[in-house]
Structure 1
Amino acid sequence: MTATATARTARTAPTAPATLVIGATGTTGSRTTAHLVAAGRRVKAGSRRAAPVPGAEPVRFDWYDPTCFGDAVAGADRVYLVPPVGDPDPAAVMLPFLDRARAAGVRRAVLLSSSAITEGGPAVGQVHRALPGLFDEWAVLRPSWFMQNFTGTHAHADSIRADGVILTAAGTGRVGFVDADDIAAVAAHALTDDRAPDGDLVLTGPEALSHDDIAATLTEVTGRPVAHHRLTYEALRDRLAAAVPPEFAAMLAGMDRAIADGAEDRTTDTVLRLTGRPPRDFRTVAARELSARPAPTDAP
């Protein structure tokens, strides 16, 4: 083949379909994007400001602005769905987008939900129920509570840094906390494996821990005292309502109450089954993300 013919072939070769990652700068979206890019996949990284993401094509995406939907799904045949944060009725904005995505050629959808929310349940549970009727290939990830809630920008991490406390209404209830990178690894498999899971996947870490256990581990890893302060359901609900809509605050506080009643005291083998490696434990994740950071000071 001549150089001219080679160049012509390169110009006319079809572009590989992309995976649209919604929330590509967030906790699981950024990690899922990194897994896909490392695997050589074409990724459209959706975020409200179309922020640059290494190895991906940035694209603007805002759940509340349907005018951006067309450009976001153009050329994509699969999508990773992170629901709008803090919205008590995400189906209202997500289902119209999913209809449009299907019409544009998206054939596989992977939805981030929660272990605490079942199909048909509140909030994203309504999207979970609709997904199998919209796409032939699908999965719903239902991770337990993120380990990064204690190390990132979550309210727990903020109160730990500011006051050395974790505030919950979970009592002595135990949770199979899971590493966000393990969630992303499962998401990448669900998006790229030859056969989609076509079901919901409950994701946990290797052990169920109470918030007292979490506080003790953080104390050991950081060398800074951390304590778990137990609140009532009402006190937590009112505290959360200062930052999120009241109905969403009530739902979140209710999840803590369910933890106290044992709803999250379980572990699963999902991470191992889909990725081929065991999930990371909390001590490992805390050491990875916190031990290298300088301790906060009391200086303004």
Structure 2
Amino acid sequence: MTTGASVLVTGATGNTGSRVAGRLSGLGHTVTLASRRPAGTHGAHDVRFDWYDAETYGPALRGVDRAYLVPPVGDPEPAAVMLPFLEQARAAGVRRVVLLSSSAIPVGGPGVGRVHGWLADGLFGEWAVLRPSWFMQNFTGQHAHAESIRKEGAVSSATGDGRVGFVDADDIAEVAVRALDDVVAPDTDLVITGPEALSYGEVAAVLAEVTGRPVAHRHLTYEQMRDRLAAEGIPEEFAVMLAGMDLAIADGAENRVTGTVERMTGRPARTFRAHVESVLRSEPVRRSVA
């Protein structure tokens, strides 16, 4: 393992960024927390960072040699703002980059897949691209699915009976830390899943059993899902992409599990049931799930 690295974490207040930052600080690394609204967490160095404001790049990159990058949320074409940042990062001395992508987006694919392609082509000497499946926290945190479960007793999707290897954000963060901290960088992409593939109907059944409240899976068409997302305030182009991902799930695109978590961390990935039970043991969160 490395010691005393200086790591930039973008999206530092988000699902994975906050977890990655805390773990890196615990390992003794110097961490720069970059977000649009710095929160002063983990006792690390906080800086304001906005992908769409190039003036925030320099302060975020000062003195760092590794970076964990979360693409701008909701942008279907993040490459336009990420490439100038990556070029500046390389010039500033960043040696290793770990990028958060998605299992649904291959190298060279749409959106962040283009950024993945640049890393694979050698933009940095050391790199990794994390390609996690859909987050378990989508059903228990501050996400549209979780809100729908709390308010309507149902989760809506156009996934049909398609299965997904849902993964815990804590497991994603553990893999990210290993990719940043290990002496030898992965220099590849890492598809990260939980230990089982579940349909949305099976997810609803687990939620109902663990919480003791009825939870159903509401089957929508592609058009209904697209329109629902747009009505929730998601930009139209991004809503189209997300609804399309639901169709891909229905066709079996995410019906897989990998051993990445255990291979990288030495322990098995958490099951969805264990995740929900863990959330319910946390009293502040209990009311938001059950």
TM-score range, shorter chain: over 0.9
Q: How many Å separate the matches in 2 of 1:212 and 1:86?
A: 26
- Selected match of 1:123 from 104, 111, 115: 111
**Corresponding residue of 1:273:** 263
CA offsets, 1:182-228, max 9 Å, x none?
Answer: 00000000001000000000000000001111101111111111110
**Corresponding residue of 1:11:** none
Describe the SS at the equivalent of 1:20. strand
**Corresponding residue of 1:144:** 133
Mark the runs of 5 or more structure 1 residues left unpaired by the alignment.
1-15
**Corresponding residue of 2:173:** 184
Corresponding position: 1:90 with 2:78: yes
Q: How many Å separate the matches in 2 of 1:206 and 1:241?
A: 32
Q: How many Å separate the matches in 1 of 2:93 and 2:87?
A: 10
TM-score (normalizing by structure 2)? 0.95
Q: CA separation of 1:65/1:168 partners in 2, compared to 1, >3 Å: closer, same or farther?
A: same
**Corresponding residue of 1:227:** 216
Corresponding position: 1:67 with 2:55: yes
Q: How many Å separate the matches in 1 of 2:190 and 2:247?
A: 23
CA offsets, 1:155-191, max 9 Å, x none?
Answer: 1011011111100000000000000000000000000
Corresponding position: 1:80 with 2:105: no
Q: How many Å separate the matches in 2 of 1:296 and 1:58?
A: 29
Corresponding position: 1:253 with 2:243: yes
Worse-superposed segment, 29-38 or 171-180 = 29-38
Shift of 1:17: 4.4
Q: How many Å separate the matches in 1 of 2:7 and 2:287?
A: 39
Task: Kindly indicate whether the alpha-carbon contact (under 8 Å) linking 2:279 and 2:286 is maintained by their aligned counterparts in 1.
Answer: no
CA RMSD of aligned residues (A): 1.5
Q: How many Å separate the matches in 2 of 1:100 and 1:30?
A: 24
- Aligned residue pairs total 283
Shift of 1:248: 1.0
Corresponding position: 1:161 with 2:161: no
TM-score (normalizing by structure 1)? 0.92
Give the ranges of 4+ consecutive aligned residues of structure 1 lying more than 2 Å apart after TM superposition. 290-297
Q: How many Å separate the matches in 2 of 1:50 and 1:76?
A: 18
Describe the SS at the equivalent of 2:50. coil
Q: How many Å separate the matches in 2 of 1:27 and 1:39?
A: 19
Mark the runs of 5 or more structure 2 residues left unpaired by the alignment.
none
The structure with the larger Rg is 1
Task: Kindly indicate whether the alpha-carbon contact (under 8 Å) linking 1:17 and 1:75 is maintained by their aligned counterparts in 2.
Answer: no
Q: How many Å separate the matches in 2 of 1:199 and 1:41?
A: 23
Task: Kindly indicate whether the alpha-carbon contact (under 8 Å) linking 1:88 and 1:247 is maintained by their aligned counterparts in 2.
Answer: yes
Q: How many Å separate the matches in 2 of 1:99 and 1:239?
A: 38
Describe the SS at the equivalent of 1:196. coil
Shift of 1:296: 6.5
Identity %: 65
Task: Kindly indicate whether the alpha-carbon contact (under 8 Å) linking 2:158 and 2:221 is maintained by their aligned counterparts in 1.
Answer: yes
**Corresponding residue of 1:290:** 280
